[in-house]
Amino acid sequence: MNEFKTILVVDDDESIVELLKDFLENENFQVKTAGDTAQALAEFRQSTIHCMVVDIMMPGLDGFELCRRIRAESNVPILFLSARGDDVDKIRGLTLGGDDYIVKTASIGEIVARVKAVLRRTGSQQEISRAVLDYGRLKINLSTREVLVEGQNISLTPKEFDLLRLFVEYPRVVFSYDQLLHKFWDGVGDKHTIRVHLSRLREKIEADPNQPKYLINVWGVGYRFEGR
């Protein structure tokens, strides 16, 4: 599911940014970029970011300060990227809340592998801590595949549950019709196929399917989940 995970690459060296972007996109990640801390904070706050690769030495506020500010509001995985390999910087970065520290002499392939490893590690931790998702009248147990609406266990087909699970695992991420068709129907079908399934799902989980609070249609694009 790399294609639904977004990596924010923060570095003032455009050549490194473009190279990392190419390699990460080749692994089906979505990639956002920023050249300094101010741009990175703005991008982080307006997008859904699943992991950050952050250069330490940048103009203005450095990567350490960016990490400090991100940690004040989020536990998103942060991998430091530095031209320096001394232990002092490494210890400082990890102490501030970084998840990994990579020297720039590492190959691009190794950096991408480290990104994937930290996402697997943090993903499994989040899965355990968020096995039961509570949205008030709607509760979803990811482990047992049970869905409760106002305390009543409702029956979902396997496809309906898998669709719902994708949306709740990536709240507010807009999934296009093409993405949903590719993932759940091997690319066979059209917008009507998706609309029919999501209409049935809405009838089961929404208080008013005609005015949905959870599964929101983004006109002409696809759907997103709002945990309200």
- How does pLDDT run across 191-201, given as a tens digit for each residue? 899 999 999 99
Note the pTM of the prediction, 2 decimals: 0.59
Q: How large is the C-alpha radius of gyration of the chain?
A: 20
pLDDT at residue 125, as a whole number: 57
pLDDT at residue 78, as a whole number: 93
Query: In whole angstroms, what is the distance from residue 95 CA to residue 51 CA?
Result: 18
Strand duo 132-135 + 51-55: pairing: unpaired
Between the CA of residue 136 and those of 133, 164, 201, 207, 210, what are the distances in Å?
A: 9, 16, 17, 12, 19
Query: In whole angstroms, what is the distance from residue 67 CA to residue 103 CA?
Result: 17
pLDDT at residue 2, as a whole number: 65
- How does pLDDT run across 109-123, given as a tens digit for each residue? 999 999 999 888 876
Which band of pLDDT confidence, cut at 50, 70 and 90, is reported for residue 47?
confident
3-state helix, strand, coil in the chain (%, to 5): 45, 20, 35
| 51 membership: H or E segment, kind and range | strand 51-55
Query: In whole angstroms, what is the distance from residue 139 CA to residue 150 CA?
Result: 8
Strand duo 146-149 + 30-34: pairing: unpaired
DSSP 2: G
